[in-house]
């Protein structure tokens, strides 16, 4: 009796209706099916019998998987610091100027450009007889076969930085502007020069923004699959082959057991990374 009336109370209370549709949607489309995915990661592709950790073992020894992991890690470790440093430098310079609206517009522009519309230009730029090589040859330098060699990796890096530079600068600027002027004034009065001001006052206050930028840039680094796929297809040059390519190909070939194991692994690793970073973030602030 008591629990029934309590149930009725919860549903009559209008508040639950605010959250319910969202919870249902997330539950039905993400959480519950993910439990099924976990189940599948422990069963075989044919027949569906329980195979224990076999799928995981197969995945770990899969050459394509190892290559994809290596490339994805390499990409993230190369791109994130590069993006962070470049955008921080630009933001610091921008913060000295007064009217920066036009700069922000032009830097943010790539964020609004759908990848598929600009793929044409990337193809033209990075072709071995394309526009970038044409410039290099004209200036007397060497040409690079971007799409055919390991230099393909740099195609990803360049398109990633192009796309994400703008909003990263905006984030840095927000962080820089949030530093109270009084702090900088105090430092200057104490005789600190530009560099000291930066390292001792500005930078420590930017640490929260740095963590956020790291997380967002990390998440967006997965989206570089779009450029890679649209420019080079499902099986690109080796140095471009990322985790996303692997998952996509597993999906197309209906190798769902491997994909299940891979998805569970990725979910665990990423959740651990996100929680780890957020704990660090909480500590700092």
Stretch that binds another protein, among 48-56, 102-110, 146-154, 195-203 (CB under 8 A): 102-110
Q: Roughly how many angstroms between the first and final C-alpha of the chain, as a whole number?
A: 47
Stretch that binds another protein, among 42-50, 51-59, 123-131, 147-155 (CB under 8 A): 123-131
User: C-alpha 96: how far from its chain's center?
Assistant: 29
Is there binding between residue 14 and another protein (CB under 8 A)?
A: yes
Is there binding between residue 198 and another protein (CB under 8 A)?
A: no
d(CA 198, CA 280): 23
Q: CA neighbours within 13 Å on the CB side: how many for 69?
A: 11
Q: What are the residues whose beta carbons fall under 8 Å from the beta carbon of 245, sequence distance 6 or more?
A: 68, 225, 228, 229, 234, 235, 236
Interface with another protein (CB under 8 A), residue from 77, 82, 85, 113: 113
Among 161, 171, 163, CA closest to 210: 171
Site string for another protein, 152-171 (x = CB under 8 A): ----------x--xxx--xx
- Closer residue to another protein in complex, CB, 62/133: 133
- Closer residue to another protein in complex, CB, 237/264: 264
Is there binding between residue 216 and another protein (CB under 8 A)?
A: yes
CB 149 within 8 A of CB 142: no
Residues 227-256 that bind another protein (CB under 8 A): 229-230, 243-244, 247-248, 251, 256
Residues 133-152 that bind another protein (CB under 8 A): 133-134, 137-138
């Amino acid at each position: 009796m008591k629990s029934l009336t309590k149930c009725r109370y919860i549903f009559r209370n209008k508040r639950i209706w605010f959250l319910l549709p969202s919870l249902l949607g997330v539950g039905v489309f993400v959480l519950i099916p993910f439990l099924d995915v976990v189940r599948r990661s422990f069963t075989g592709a044919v027949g569906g019998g329980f195979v224990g950790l076999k799928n995981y073992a197969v995945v770990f020894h899969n050459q394509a998987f190892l290559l994809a992991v290596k490339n994805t890690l390499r990409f993230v470790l190369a791109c994130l610091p590069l993006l962070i440093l470049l955008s921080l430098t630009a933001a610091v310079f921008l913060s000295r100027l007064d009217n920066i609206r036009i700069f922000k517009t032009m830097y943010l522009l790539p964020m609004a450009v759908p990848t598929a519309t600009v793929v044409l230009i990337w193809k033209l730029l990075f072709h071995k007889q394309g526009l970038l090589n044409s410039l290099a040859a004209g200036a007397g330098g060497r040409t690079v076969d971007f799409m055919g060699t390991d230099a393909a990796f740099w195609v990803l890096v360049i398109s990633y930085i192009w796309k994400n530079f703008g909003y990263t600068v905006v984030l840095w600027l927000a962080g820089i502007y949030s530093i109270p002027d009084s702090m900088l004034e105090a430092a200057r009065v104490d005789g600190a020069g530009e560099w000291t001001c930066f390292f001792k006052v500005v930078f420590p206050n930017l640490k929260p923004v740095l963590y956020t930028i790291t997380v967002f840039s990390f998440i967006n680094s997965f989206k570089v699959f779009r450029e890679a796929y649209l420019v080079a297809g499902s099986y690109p040059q080796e140095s471009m082959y990322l985790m996303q390519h692997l998952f996509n190909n597993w999906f197309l070939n209906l190798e769902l057991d491997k994909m299940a194991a891979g998805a569970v692994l990725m979910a665990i690793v990423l959740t651990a990374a996100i929680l780890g970073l957020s704990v660090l973030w909480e500590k700092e602030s």
